[in-house]
């Protein structure tokens, strides 16, 4: 890393930030909200990865982090030219994720009830990642109403939230955590 590089630039002190391409937008802009929520999601994915003991799961979660970061980069890019050097987001990542979901589900008892988050920190963090992912999906869909967004980004986030639901059950099973069945009390 260049020793002249500093983490702070003071460029955002007035509530503006730059997109890839150079335009300045307010920090509350829909594009910033979308990729900022993905950044939050990526942090929770790292937390889930830290709790995962299985090498395959840890490796796959790292791959997901790379993919989420790639989607963030595309959302931060305002033009096709500025996104041309970014990693491509290929359709096969959806199929790979579906394969991972199927692999985990094959080891789990059938789901017969709604379940509540909890039982083990890893399970709870998966559910936090799942809900942040759903929020990220909503922000990206909203952004897509006014801005060109790769359709695969929305598909990916939809499937990723499913992945985290199944991963929560999978890790709960690994850690012998009992699933907490929702019993309506109202």
Q: Does residue 36 lie in a domain region? A: yes
Q: What is the crossing angle of helices 30-51 and 55-76, to 10°?
A: 170
Average predicted confidence (pLDDT) for the chain: 86
Three-state SS string over 98-166 comes to HHHHHHHHCCCCCCCCCEECCCCHHHHHHHHHHHHHHHHHHHHHHHHCCCCCCHHHHHHHHHHHHHHHH
User: Which DSSP string do the residues of 55-85 spell out, in sequence order?
Assistant: HHHHHHHHHHHHHHHHHHHHHHB-SHHHHTT
| Biggest distance spanned by C-alpha atoms of the chain | 61
Q: What is residue 89's three-state secondary structure?
A: coil
Q: How many of the other CB atoms lie within 10 Å of CB of 65?
A: 17
Phi then psi for 182, rounded to 5 degrees?
A: -75, 125
Q: What is the CATH number of the domain that holds 42?
A: 1.20.1200.10
CA–CA gap between residue 135 and residue 132 (Å, rounded): 5
Per residue in 3-59, pLDDT tens?
Answer: 676 666 656 556 666 655 567 755 556 777 788 899 999 999 999 999 999 999 999
Q: Does residue 4 lie in a domain region? A: no
Closest to 78 measured CA to CA, from 43, 30, 45, 44 = 30
Q: Does residue 164 lie in a domain region? A: yes
Q: Does residue 83 lie in a domain region? A: no
Q: Does residue 113 lie in a domain region? A: yes
Confidence of residue 74 (pLDDT cuts 50, 70, 90): confident
> What pLDDT, on the 0 to 100 scale, is given for residue 50?
96
Q: Range of 49's domain?
A: 25-78+91-181
> What pLDDT, on the 0 to 100 scale, is given for residue 80?
65
The reply to whether the predicted model has a pTM over 0.75 is yes
Q: Does residue 144 lie in a domain region? A: yes
Q: Does residue 103 lie in a domain region? A: yes
Q: What is residue 3's three-state secondary structure?
A: coil
Domain count, the chain: 1
Q: Does residue 7 lie in a domain region? A: no
């Amino acid at each position: 890393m260049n020793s002249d590089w500093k983490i702070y630039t003071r460029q955002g002190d007035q509530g503006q930030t730059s997109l890839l391409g150079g335009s300045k937008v307010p920090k509350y802009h829909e594009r910033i909200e979308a990729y900022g929520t993905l950044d939050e999601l990526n942090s929770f994915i790292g937390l889930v990865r830290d709790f995962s003991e299985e090498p395959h799961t840890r490796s796959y979660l790292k791959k997901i982090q790379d993919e989420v970061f790639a989607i963030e980069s595309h959302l931060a890019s305002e033009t096709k030219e500025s996104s041309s050097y970014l990693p491509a987001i290929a359709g096969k990542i959806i199929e790979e994720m579906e394969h991972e979901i199927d692999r985990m589900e094959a080891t789990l008892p059938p789901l017969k009830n709604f379940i509540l988050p909890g039982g083990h920190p890893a399970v709870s963090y998966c559910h936090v990642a799942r809900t942040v992912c759903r929020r990220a999906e909503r922000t990206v869909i909203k952004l897509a109403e006014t801005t060109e967004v790769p359709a695969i980004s929305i598909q990916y986030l939809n499937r990723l939230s499913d992945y985290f639901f199944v991963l929560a059950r999978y890790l709960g099973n690994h850690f012998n955590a009992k699933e907490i069945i929702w019993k309506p009390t109202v």
